[in-house]
Amino acid sequence: MPSDLGSSKAFDELEALRAENAALKQQLSAQNQLPMSLEEFKRYGRQMIVEDTGGVAGQLKLRGSKVLVIGAGGLGCPCLPYLAGAGVGQIGIVDNDVVETSNLHRQVLHDSSKVGMLKCESAKEVLLKLNPHVTIDTYPVRLNYSNAFDIFQHYDIVLDCTDTPLTRYLISDVAVNLRMTVVSASGLGSEGQLSILNFKDVGPCYRCFYPVPPPPNAVSSCQEGGVIGPCIGLVGVMMAIETIKIILDIYTLDNFQPFLMQYSGFPVQTLRTFKMRGRQTSCKACGDNRTISRKAIEAGDVDYELFCGKRKYDVCSSKERISVKELETSYLSPGELNHILLDVRPHHHYNISHLPNTYNLTVKELRDMEGDITRLQSCIPTVHRQSEVLVICRHGNDSQLATRLLKDQFNITNVRDVRGGFFKYIDDMNPSLPKY
Amino acid sequence: MVNVKVEFLGGLDVIFEKQRTYKLNVPSKDDSEVTVGSLIDYIVENMIKNPRDKDVFIENDTIRPGILTLINDTDWELEGEKDYVLEDGDILSFTSTLHGG
């Protein structure tokens, strides 16, 4: 029979062993602490098992990366959910626009209930629902030379999803000064382009490709030129792929070759990858003699507006213009047919909706007639040099150019432009007509 | 004489009767080689129907800023630009830079 003393000793030993065991277990689990939550393993599993991503190590690179997306429109919307979904740890969104109905066919993060809401906030709402593990920062500001550096410096990679040459030069210049890689894309109609700029601070920048900006009249926006949703969407998705590859170090200093991808959606879909020039020694931003420094940009010494230029529309005097109200009261009532109403929008715009008893000739068509009134009469039989002509377009820009042509080249003396154009007329006078 | 394919992308086809690709036999002057420079002259003289559209393609005697020129899918800057000597089967692409987003 064991003595009381013996049994108590055995008990103490057992307790000591238990304590040691618990300490060892704790030590072991501290060594094996998981780098992500079990939920994250599950969430990212399908991409981690693609060997090229580098598994858990690759996933941690994504989680540690900070990506700034400028523009939550036709490119930003399809790109952002793939970045958030893939687990990019911190995503910034710069956009001061609000959602409009005419955006919804391509800007798929937004929906009809969000018309009027800031695009960056609308995007954030969707992305956090998609993946609560990521941080989304929003900047409801228009990017400019004075705020760009403050915003950019919190991130590693910038995505240019903007829509004007001016911001494209600014983004590239700021990124070069901060040694950041830029994924840059654009789209219009059924086509798109994509490129990686200033890759790891050795690749070419936007100015290397385009040292001289295009003339302003050669630049078309989506609002003006139109755009097919899935075509620009595809390019936005490709931006997400390029971004993920940069983060995962699929591109390296050794294997990276400057390129520009060109996508065409119609008539047969094609995707071409053009081999592009490297960094240019003559480049003002990233070359040997740099003049576009952070100091120069922030001081406003790099004049982007002057560099890119603006289209000159303001070519009619106030006497050469009438208001939409005057158009409605004096010219559109039945029986008032002693004047000619000329709509200078593109024909496919005109075909969507237009005012009754109008003629449709574009500015280009008028220009091509070279001031020959007989050629004009072949399209508008009743027109002569004493006719009263009213010119209308979409917003009141092209109609001014046409007014000048009709007066100065065709020598028609009584020509006036409708201020604000067809859309202003619809807004103020006749909201029952379709705007597009 | 050299046989090449020419493409007009990024909306540039509007000044080429909305046709994106053309197969061309470019004649050489006095049996000399045909360069990209002479091809550009040939395009401007023979293919732009409306003389007003020339400004869309050419500025200060070279391709207008905002248009990329590619020789067999490679930036012409890497191939000698206007001095590149064309060979049968070469593909010349001109693409307007897009800005929409």
Chain-centroid distance, C-alpha A312: 24
pLDDT digits over A35-87, tens only?
Answer: 999 999 999 999 999 999 999 999 999 999 999 999 999 999 999 999 999 99
Position A17: which residue type? L
Instruction: Determine the 3-state secondary structure of A351 from DSSP.
Output: coil
**Ranges assigned E (strand) in A244-398:** 259-264, 270-275, 321-322, 339-343, 358-360, 388-392
CA–CA distance, A131 with A367 (Å, rounded to integer): 54
Give the B window 53-92 contacts with A, CB below 8 Å: 56, 59, 64-68, 70, 73-75, 77-78
What pTM was computed for the model?
0.86
CB contact A183 to B (< 8 Å): no
- Is-contact A339 A387, C-beta < 8 A? yes
In the residue annotation, A120 being an active-site residue is answered as no
Note the pLDDT of residue A217. Answer: 76
Domain ranges of chain B: 2-96
CA–CA distance, A122 with A140 (Å, rounded to integer): 11
Q: What are phi and psi of A186, to 5 degrees?
A: -155, 165
Note the pLDDT of residue A30. Answer: 60
Q: Is the pLDDT of residue A336 over 70?
A: no
The partner residues of B70 in beta bridges, in order of sequence, read B75, B93
The closest of B12, B13, B98, B76 to A193, measured between CA atoms, is B98
The answer to whether A102 is annotated as binding is: yes
From chain B, pick out residues whose CB is under 8 angstroms from the CB of A193: 10, 95, 97-98
Among B8, B61, B72, B98, most A C-beta atoms within 10 A, so best to mutate, is: B98
What is the torsional sign of CA A291, A176, B77, A185? negative
Q: Is the pLDDT of residue A221 over 80?
A: no
In the residue annotation, A379 being an active-site residue is answered as no
Quick one: tokens of A267?
């008539």
User: Residue A214, preceding bond cis, omega within 30 degrees?
Assistant: no
Residues of chain A with pLDDT > 90: what percent? Answer: 82
Q: Which residue of A has its CA nearest to B63?
A: A214
Give the relative orientation of helices A119-130 and A76-86 as an angle to the nearest 10 degrees: 30
Task: Measure CB to CB from residue A214 to each of B9, B50, B97 and give the nearest one.
Answer: B97
pLDDT band at B31 (very low <50, low <70, confident <90, very high): confident
pLDDT band at A338 (very low <50, low <70, confident <90, very high): confident
CA–CA distance, A435 with A186 (Å, rounded to integer): 26
Q: Which residues of A41-61 are buried (b: 16+ CB within 10 A; e: fewer)?
A: eebbeebbeeeebbeeebbeb
Q: Is the pLDDT of residue A388 over 60?
A: yes
Other Cβ atoms less than 10 A from the Cβ of A16: the count is 10
Chain-centroid distance, C-alpha A276: 23
Task: Measure CB to CB from residue B98 to each of A192, A211, A368 and give the nearest one.
Answer: A192
Secondary structure percentages of chain B, helix, strand, coil, to 5: 30, 35, 35
CATH code at B2-96: 3.10.20.30
pLDDT band at A6 (very low <50, low <70, confident <90, very high): low
- Is-contact B92 B9, C-beta < 8 A? no
Residues of chain A with pLDDT > 70: what percent? Answer: 97
- Is-contact A342 A391, C-beta < 8 A? yes
Reported residue count of chain B is 101
Enumerate domains of chain A plus CATH numbers. 64-308 (3.40.50.720), 318-428 (3.40.250.10)
Chain-centroid distance, C-alpha B57: 9
Give the relative orientation of helices A55-63 and A38-48 as an angle to the nearest 10 degrees: 110
Instruction: Determine the 3-state secondary structure of B67 from DSSP.
Output: strand
Q: What are phi and psi of A236, to 5 degrees?
A: -65, -40
CA–CA distance, B83 with B35 (Å, rounded to integer): 6
pLDDT digits over A191-210, tens only?
Answer: 999 999 999 999 999 999 99
Note the pLDDT of residue A104. Answer: 97
Position A61: which residue type? K
Q: What are phi and psi of A342, to 5 degrees?
A: -110, 120
CA–CA distance, A159 with A123 (Å, rounded to integer): 15
Type and span of the H or E element at A197? strand A191-197
pLDDT band at A34 (very low <50, low <70, confident <90, very high): very high
Q: Is the pLDDT of residue B80 over 60?
A: yes
pLDDT digits over A9-21, tens only?
Answer: 888 888 888 888 8
CA–CA distance, A121 with A141 (Å, rounded to integer): 12
Q: Is the pLDDT of residue A3 over 60?
A: no
Average pLDDT on A404-433 reads 95
The closest of A91, A72, A93 to A83, measured between CA atoms, is A91
Average pLDDT on A216-239 reads 88
pLDDT digits over A122-173, tens only?
Answer: 999 999 999 999 999 999 999 999 999 999 999 999 999 999 999 999 999 9
- Is-contact A361 A346, C-beta < 8 A? no
CA–CA distance, A72 with A96 (Å, rounded to integer): 9
Residue the block writes with tokens 């068509």? A365
Q: Is the pLDDT of residue B50 over 60?
A: yes
CA–CA distance, A164 with B53 (Å, rounded to integer): 23
Note the pLDDT of residue B95. Answer: 96
Position A150: which residue type? D
Position B21: which residue type? T
The residues, ordered by sequence, that sit 6+ positions from A433 with a Cβ below 8 Å of its Cβ are: A353, A425, A426
CA–CA distance, A227 with A191 (Å, rounded to integer): 8
From chain A, pick out residues whose CB is under 8 angstroms from the CB of B66: 210, 213-215, 218-219
Note the pLDDT of residue A294. Answer: 97
Number of H helices, E strands in chain A: 18, 13
The partner residues of A139 in beta bridges, in order of sequence, read A94
- Is-contact A109 A77, C-beta < 8 A? yes
The residues, ordered by sequence, that sit 6+ positions from A241 with a Cβ below 8 Å of its Cβ are: A82
Our CA-based measurement puts residue B72 at a distance from the nearest CA of chain A, in whole angstroms, of 9
pLDDT band at A313 (very low <50, low <70, confident <90, very high): confident
From chain A, pick out residues whose CB is under 8 angstroms from the CB of B50: 368
CA–CA distance, A280 with A203 (Å, rounded to integer): 9
Instruction: Determine the 3-state secondary structure of A139 from DSSP.
Output: strand
Our CA-based measurement puts residue A203 at a distance from the nearest CA of chain B, in whole angstroms, of 15
Q: Is the pLDDT of residue A335 over 80?
A: no
